[in-house]
Amino acid sequence: MSAKQLDQVAQATKTAFVFPGQGSQKVGMLAELAEQFASVEATFAEASKAVGFDLWHIAQSGEGLDQTEFTQPVLLTASIALWRVWLELGGVAPKYLAGHSLGEYSALVAAGSLSLGDAVKLVNLRGKLMQSAVPQGKGAMAAILGLDDAQVVALCQQVSSQAEGSVEAANYNAQGQVVIAGEKAAVEAVMALAKESSGKAIALPVSVPSHCSLMKPAAEQFAEALEQTAIELPSIPVIQNVGAEIATDVAQVRQALTAQLYESVQWTKTMQFIQDQGIQYVAECGPGNVLANLAKRLPNIEKAFPLDSKSRLEDALNAILVAEGKIA
């Protein structure tokens, strides 16, 4: 949907939309909604034409779904299909958008900053560059639970200084939940230290250590592709992963997308910003409910909704339209 068309949609004052990243994909996603809304498969057809392979087949069969170069365009397309259904049903335009990692691209498409075709080509390339930056089996990621941010950062610095390889905080997801990324031995060393400090550590099933300095070579190549892509200033403000800020010009959008590959995702700060702006309702526009569940824990968020089935969509639509004063 173009920025011009978005102007004609009723504006929300208390609602933000968040778009999920990798890890939210599942085989058969949106199959039920596709039976009820022709726009779902039409969106997948539009995106498939741009990248040159069948994204709907990957989503429904699971073939290649966990390879990052396919995961990324499939998830982005699923999020945009849901966004289009939301608008088709008379949903409001949120006051803010934000996306976790890959989800930032989905948010930019929803805001009319990137076209769907350009975005799927970009994230397909992003996946390829990320995979080739670190040889298979060399990198790792893990979730550290129950320690505060500063403790996790200190453990990463301790291990990195002992020449066990580089490891950094990659995603600040919520208070007491930080994902680390880096070289496998270094990640494992931090996991062991976290457990000694009464934290929990869970290895994540990923093939690429995202959002850490191992991704710098990929970011340099990716910046060239971004330069050649048409990008407009979003018509709905998009809170960026890097710095949890809103770009004021297109150069900042490009810069943030490049830096996002090797800098940490500031999700805790993003959700704090959303609350500080008086947002009370959050909808997760994509498969699953990881981000909705994180939002539910926050003191000022009254309700957080997933949207990935017809019943969930209808529940969210009714609650948000009532809260926004659009229906009684």
Where in the sequence numbering do the catalytic residues fall?
101, 211
**Structure-token pair, residue 327:** 């229906």
Dihedral pair phi/psi, residue 141, rounded to 5°: -135, 150
Residues 252, 140: Cα–Cα separation, whole Å: 29
> Pick from 80, 81, 54: which is nearest to 65 by CA?
54
3-state secondary structure 167-235: EEEEEEEECCEEEEEEEHHHHHHHHHHHHHCCCEEEECCCCCCCCCHHHHHHHHHHHHHHHCCCCCCCC
Question: Across the strands, what pairs with 181?
Answer: 141, 168
Cα–Cα dist 327/310, whole Å: 19
Q: At 203, phi and psi to the nearest 5? A: -70, 135
Q: Which amino acid is at 55?
A: L
Distance CA 117, CA 109 (A): 9
Report the distance separating Cα 31 and Cα 41, nearest Å.
9
Report d(CA 25, CA 90) in Å as an integer.
26
